[in-house]
Structure formats: C-alpha cells, structure tokens
Chain A
Amino acid sequence: MPARGEEETWDVVYYRQVDGQTPAIDFLDGCPIKLQARFDAVLDDVSAAPPPRYSGGGRWEAMHGDMGGFYEVRVQGPNREQFRLFCILDNGSPQQLRDRGLTRPAIAVITGMRKPFMTVFDERDYARVRRLGDDYRAQLPRRIKT
C-alpha cells in the first residue's frame, strides 16, 4: 500500500440542507463527548489514508444493497448502544471537483443514527439517509457546513 502523504489527504465535509440544518453535526452534537472523539478519530484516519488504502481501524466499512455507495463509521456507546455515521466519498476528475467547489476529494458526512444493541434500523431510516445523500450529490457546488 502506498505511504501516507499530505498531498493525498482528503477533506472531511458535512452536508448542509437547504434550510441550513446539518444532520450529521446535529447528530454528533447529541452524542457523548467520547463518541464524538471516536468518530473524529476514524474520519481523520480515513481522510489521511483514503481508499483504496486500508484505514479506519475496522470502524469504517462500505455499505451494500440499497445503501451501496455509502460508507458507515461504526462506534459503540454506553450500554452497547450502536452509533453510525453515514458518509459518501466525493471524488472525481479535477474539473468535476472544481464544479463541486472542492479543491480535493472529500469524505462527505451526510447524517448519523443510533440504535440499541442487537436491533436494526428501519428501512424508512435508510431511505431518509439516501434522500439526504441524493440531495448532497445533486448540489453544484456542494452545500456543506463552512
């Protein structure tokens, strides 16, 4: 695998809705401080050694099926509660990145969800994540928290 290099580091950006809300940041603000730190550590690690390199320490994983194209950061909280951040890899040609307002590829953090241990998210929850992701991808330039 290639060595890490600053020139290969990606940005981490947070999707912003048209009404100004930032679902991922709202989610993170509601998490215990230790979990915020864990999420940030994973995001920083993946952005420093972005795909296809191995990074994230086992807490970064591609999603499949209807959620294909999304990646999740998986963190466990008190009482084994499960916390997830849903992300998109925003990469493309230099011109595509310029059109999106990005100077380099980015991990776009779309939203987050939490659930009790040994339970699953409702399909409606996943559908909402996909809608937010679709809205992120539809914006040129990208609408993000600045």
Chain B
Amino acid sequence: MIDTSYHRRHVTERMDDPEYRAEYERMSREIAQVNEVMRALNELREQGSMSKAELARVIGRNDAVVRRFFTAQSNPELRTIAAMAEALDADIRIVPRRKAGRRTATADVAGG
C-alpha cells in the first residue's frame, strides 16, 4: 500500500504557524455553520417523511437539483435555503453569541 499520510503530516506541521492555525480554525467554524444548516434541513425533511422530490416540487425546483444540494454536489442560494425551510415549516435564525469578549454569531434551522 502507498503511504497516504502526506496531507495529515503537512497540516499538522502547518499548525505550528499561528496565522495558518487561526485561519484554519476560523474556516472550519464557518464550514461547520453551513454544514449544520444543510444537515438540519435534511433531518427535518426526513423527520417529516418528505422525499427530496416532494420538497423539490414544493419549492418549485427540479428534484435532481435538490438532491445535489443535500450531497454538496452544488450549493443552494440563501433564498433557496429559506424556501426549503418554509416548506419544512422551519425558521432560519441567526443567534448572537458572546465569547471571550468578542461578539460572534451562530446559525441554526429550527423546526416549527
């Protein structure tokens, strides 16, 4: 088998650079926020026993397009996310948070 550890070694070494580490961690938080919104929408869809095709019909989109949204094959615009939340009887919220003296925010999708 080939040694496939280069990427992991490289990232570990780069973490010694404070600028790299800070940006990696910031980006990871941003990615997690977006992922969480899409996963929350998908969980609400599954809990409501709504197929992706049905959700697509409700928001007026092609079902293949909606399938691609939920597998990160393509990325929906914010208004499409809002339409999906509406179809799933959910609200999108930005929740302010305060941490270590600086103001940040988190996002979630809450079922209604």
* Residues A51 and B27 in contact in the complex (CB < 8 Å), given A101-B1, A145-B6: no
Contact size class for A? 35 or more
Contact yes or no, B6 A144, CB < 8 A: yes
Check B14 for interface membership: any CB of A closer than 8 A: yes
Check A88 for interface membership: any CB of B closer than 8 A: no
* Residues A58 and B6 in contact in the complex (CB < 8 Å), given A37-B27, A44-B11, A101-B1: no
**Which residues of B lie under 8 Å from residue A56 when comparing CB positions?**
31, 35, 72
CA distance A14 to B20 in the complex (A): 20
Q: From A42, which residue of chain B is reached at the shortest CB distance?
A: B31
A137 to chain B, nearest CB (A): 15
Task: List residues of B (27-45) whose CB comes within 8 Å of A's CBs.
Answer: 27-28, 30-35, 38-39, 42-43
- Choose among A36, A41, A102, A142 the residue with the greatest number of B CB atoms under 10 Å from its CB: A41
A59 to chain B, nearest CB (A): 7
Check B73 for interface membership: any CB of A closer than 8 A: yes
Contact yes or no, A62 B68, CB < 8 A: yes
B2 to chain A, nearest CB (A): 4
Contact yes or no, A41 B31, CB < 8 A: yes
Check A118 for interface membership: any CB of B closer than 8 A: no
Interface of chain B, helix or strand or loop or mixed?
helix
Contact yes or no, A36 B14, CB < 8 A: yes
B87 to chain A, nearest CB (A): 17
Interface of chain A, helix or strand or loop or mixed?
mixed
- Choose among B11, B17, B32 the residue with the greatest number of A CB atoms under 10 Å from its CB: B11
**Which residues of A lie under 8 Å from residue B102 when comparing CB positions?**
none
Contact yes or no, A146 B20, CB < 8 A: no
A32 to chain B, nearest CB (A): 9
Q: Given A14, A33, A57, which contacts B34 in the complex, CB threshold below 8 Å?
A: A57
A72 to chain B, nearest CB (A): 11
* Residues A37 and B23 in contact in the complex (CB < 8 Å), given A12-B7, A44-B11, A146-B2: yes
Question: Which 4 pairs across A and B sit closest by C-beta, in order of nearness?
Answer: A57-B31, A37-B23, A41-B27, A12-B7
Point out residues on A near B: beta carbons under 8 Å.
1, 11-14, 33-34, 36-38, 40-46, 49, 51-62, 98, 101-103, 106, 141-142, 144-146
